[in-house]
Amino acid sequence: MTSCSIGPLLHEGKAKRVHATDHTDLVAVHFKDDTTAFNAAKKASLAGKGQLNCRIAALLFEHLERQGIASHYRGLMGDDWMICQHLRVIPLEVVVRNRAAGSLCRQMPIAEGTPLDPPLLDLYYKDDAYGDPFLSEARLTRLAIVSADQLEEIQQLALAVNQSLGQLFTSVGLELVDFKIEIGLTAAGQLLLADEISPDTCRLWDQAVADQRDRILDKDRFRQDLGGVLEAYREVLKRVQGVCPEPRVYG
């Protein structure tokens, strides 16, 4: 593995910046301290959030890799940069829910915390201009952003991620309530897990805490103005790194 130098900015998202590198097949992803909610209607900068999410995502991607679930992640570079395979990201947000929370409870008569067994898999069209709308399979077919075979593969991948991360989090006293993943395509047409998996993109509840607010260890602390956002992310990191090997450094 050779080292990598950072090139021009290719894309800036709400929580990350993606830069070209001197390797055409690799990008450098910078995790920002910025945090947003409600389609960026609510914003803040939380010093150190980028480093926490970068490290948590590295640990989770490496855990998934050991279980045979490949992602774009190649290794860490410094505290808040990750080297990743360059992908064409599919404009889909794939959400898996093990308990009802968030938008599900706002859109349906279902109480927060209701167990969902089997897990519910929801697809959203990733486009801020449209507010990331919920997609039916018929709408997805009409959009033609993935084939029927790719959709099947994406659904299996999301459920495999749920199984693997659910077990990991349970082993450290956390419940994986729900999460969102994104998927990209390599030049060779392989589907890979992309983006990040972190407390920004998962709901994680402390299994030992009964209080409905105190148990929250994810971005809902920011969404709901509960305070202690960084403390919660630090707790997630501490627990996950307690059961995972040190993440690798690229190069």
Selected from 28, 29, 59, 104, the binder of ligand UDP by CB under 6 A is 104
Query: What minimum distance in Å lies between the beta carbon of 224 and ligand UDP?
Result: 10
In angstroms, the CA 199 to CA 178 distance is 11
For helices 148-171 and 49-66, angle between their N-to-C axes, nearest 10 degrees: 110
* 203 binding ligand UDP? (CB under 6 A): yes
Pick 85 or 162: Cβ nearer ligand UDP: 162
Q: Which of 37, 36, 20 is nearest to 28 (CA)?
A: 20
Pick 80 or 93: Cβ nearer ligand UDP: 93
Contact 178, 95 (CB under 8 A): yes
* 34 binding ligand UDP? (CB under 6 A): no
Selected from 16, 30, 55, 180, the binder of ligand UDP by CB under 6 A is 180
Selected from 56, 57, 95, 237, the binder of ligand UDP by CB under 6 A is 95
Contact 30, 8 (CB under 8 A): no
Task: Name the helix (H) or strand (E) containing 196.
Answer: none
Query: What minimum distance in Å lies between the beta carbon of 153 and ligand UDP?
Result: 20
The number of beta carbons lying within 10 Å of the beta carbon of residue 113 is 14
Binding site residues, ligand UDP, CB under 6 A: 93, 95, 101-104, 132, 178-180, 201-203, 219
